[in-house]
Chain A
């Protein structure tokens, strides 16, 4: 039992953090709601109760997985680029612009639109990468500022050049059907984006853990000096993981446009880039753990929405809970005393035997 605890300590810690988060949400609901029992049920079980909400779970998780993977690659190299949001936004805007102004058969159109969106995101994310690699300009600050620039550029592109004036509100033209990602479960909006997300999770896992470039990324994150001495070009690594980050995020944003909305309608940034940071933290930057982490976040989000609709507790409670969970997971020393005690007990027993 104790051996098991030690082996899976990190995972157990994450689960305990999530548990504490849920306990706090129960507490908050009892504190604020007139009918706490009902509200609690809506929050915890709500997402599973109807077919449309269950579908919603998958729809919500899909873009988060892409961004989680994007951030995970950067985090593995200890790069704090938070520019996934900007890459996603601008990439999706440019992809939309391309999709509505071209006409070709679906089997070329779909991959081409995705590629163009992804490349735009990659290019955008390349900027903080090169600034960091060349001049040591903090990628944290520059990627954040570029998020705003990307947002306004994307907004300008859509509102001034690709706006559908007949739509009644500020949205782009509808994508031609050849650029739609099909929905494969009837009466839901679950589209092939989620399949792409799962495939990419496996690919990113393979890339990070079974290729030289992936090894270089992880070594740089583990110990930059050591990596340098080992002959790894940190310059290359920084640029590479920023470019991958931008590509994945923008790719994910584009699937969302092509599968769910079928036009560009984000007048404010959708926030998936930030969600990506959350799931990268919960999933400990491991590509395969990003998937369950994204579903967990989606579950909290859908639960929050149900709560908002059905009860008197605002959905923002979820933001509070998720921030507490992240704080606990990032707190390395949280429960480390406990681990220490188990380790000592194990060692003593080992010595006696």
Chain B
């Protein structure tokens, strides 16, 4: 059999997809929840970076995974809070403010990394910790499936929980209802007494919360160190994944899975004789194509709705 096909069909490839998908999924949930409130958070790149850094630093200095987790999550939430303060209180454009925050994250992490280790590249001199891998009893001994599903970092399973949590928050809680209301029509929401800015603040902080886990996984699971700009565009791919997934739980999950698969594929291709540059661009190109298809379809849907509304209107007029 063709060696490429063979490696793609192997169980290890299935495992790699989930591994690659994990940070994307967390960040994509973060983007989705902020978009549902009508304030899209494109600072996931920076949020993940700060959380990844804080996690490594705290775990290295306290030797406590729990503290590292808490600090990393707090840092992510803080990023969301800063963005919401600048956007909601100080009326900054949310896109520009988020771009500035990404820049801030990129600078401050290297700045502090240098102060902490004397190195600007990575934290390899620090003894930071890793989140544990989980080998699921019984399932791990099932042949192919076991290899794919079992033995992942706990954060990967956390990502699945995060999707469920995202679903529950959005559709089963009053906050979720308000988030959706605010996102669909802020004026209507305001007229029934919802504090629009407060709901958006919560949504942005929640997006920071989810993004933080993606960052923590990167530096304490995916690899075991922090490196400058280690998010490497994942925060941006997450935006594409969230867009593609229609900002809904299942869609976001499937889109992240797709991007995970394409990225994993790029890694596999690279081991063959094809120029790595041409392989590396595949996921980004795929994102553009997927985004275009999605947007075109959404536009068609809008047109159809307008047409239907027009028809209903004419029927009413004639009767």
Contact of B95 among A140, A145, A153 (CB under 8 A): A140
- A148-B281, A281-B96 given as contacts; is B275 within 8 A of A141 (CB)? no
- A142-B288, A316-B120 given as contacts; is B107 within 8 A of A323 (CB)? yes
- Alpha-carbon distance A137/B299, docked complex (angstroms): 9
Q: Is the CB of A327 within 8 A of B243?
A: no
| Interface magnitude class on chain A | 35 or more
- Alpha-carbon distance A140/B86, docked complex (angstroms): 20
- B233 contacts the other chain (CB 8 A): yes
Interface SS, A side: helix
Distance in angstroms from A68 CB to nearest chain B CB is: 14
When each residue 261-296 of chain B gets 1 if its CB lies under 8 Å from chain A and 0 otherwise, what string results? 000000000000001011011001101100110111
Distance in angstroms from A335 CB to nearest chain B CB is: 10
Q: Is the CB of A330 within 8 A of B93?
A: yes
- Alpha-carbon distance A142/B284, docked complex (angstroms): 9
Q: Is the CB of A137 within 8 A of B101?
A: no
- A144-B236, A327-B100, A327-B101 given as contacts; is B277 within 8 A of A156 (CB)? yes
Q: Is the CB of A135 within 8 A of B114?
A: no
Q: Is the CB of A323 within 8 A of B120?
A: no
- Of A131, A136, A151, A320, which is in contact with the most chain B CB atoms at under 10 Å from its CB? A320
- A277 contacts the other chain (CB 8 A): yes
Q: Is the CB of B107 within 8 A of A332?
A: no
With CB as the reference atom, state the residue of chain A lying closest to B233.
A148
Residues from 101 to 152 in B contacting A, C-beta threshold 8 Å: 101, 103-104, 106-108, 110-111, 114-115, 120
Contact of B296 among A32, A135, A323 (CB under 8 A): A135
Q: Is the CB of A317 within 8 A of B280?
A: no
Q: Is the CB of B299 within 8 A of A135?
A: yes
- Alpha-carbon distance A171/B99, docked complex (angstroms): 31
Q: Is the CB of B277 within 8 A of A153?
A: yes
- B9 contacts the other chain (CB 8 A): no
- B36 contacts the other chain (CB 8 A): no
- A80 contacts the other chain (CB 8 A): yes
Distance in angstroms from A45 CB to nearest chain B CB is: 22
With CB as the reference atom, state the residue of chain A lying closest to B99.
A277
Chain A neighbourhood of B294, CB < 8 A: 137
- A320-B111, A327-B86 given as contacts; is B287 within 8 A of A141 (CB)? yes
- A135-B299, A149-B281, A330-B96 given as contacts; is B91 within 8 A of A274 (CB)? no
Q: Is the CB of A314 within 8 A of B111?
A: yes
When each residue 212-247 of chain B gets 1 if its CB lies under 8 Å from chain A and 0 otherwise, what string results? 000000000000000000000100110110010000
Chain A neighbourhood of B287, CB < 8 A: 141, 145
When each residue 318-353 of chain A gets 1 if its CB lies under 8 Å from chain B and 0 otherwise, what string results? 111011101100111110100000000000000000
- A159 contacts the other chain (CB 8 A): yes
- Alpha-carbon distance A177/B92, docked complex (angstroms): 48
Distance in angstroms from A21 CB to nearest chain B CB is: 12
Distance in angstroms from A76 CB to nearest chain B CB is: 14
Q: Is the CB of A140 within 8 A of B42?
A: yes
Contact of B295 among A136, A148, A155 (CB under 8 A): A136
- A145-B288, A326-B103 given as contacts; is B281 within 8 A of A152 (CB)? yes
Q: Is the CB of A142 within 8 A of B291?
A: yes
- B90 contacts the other chain (CB 8 A): yes
- Alpha-carbon distance A156/B285, docked complex (angstroms): 15
Residues from 287 to 317 in B contacting A, C-beta threshold 8 Å: 287-288, 291-292, 294-296, 298-299
Given contacts A82-B99, A131-B295, A153-B277, 10 further A-B pairs with CB under 8 A are A80-B95, A138-B243, A145-B288, A153-B281, A160-B277, A319-B104, A326-B96, A327-B97, A332-B90, A333-B91
Task: List the interface of chain A (C-beta within 8 A of B).
Answer: 32, 80, 82, 127, 131, 135-138, 140-142, 144-146, 148-149, 151-153, 155-156, 159-160, 274, 277-278, 281, 314, 316-320, 322-324, 326-327, 330-334, 336
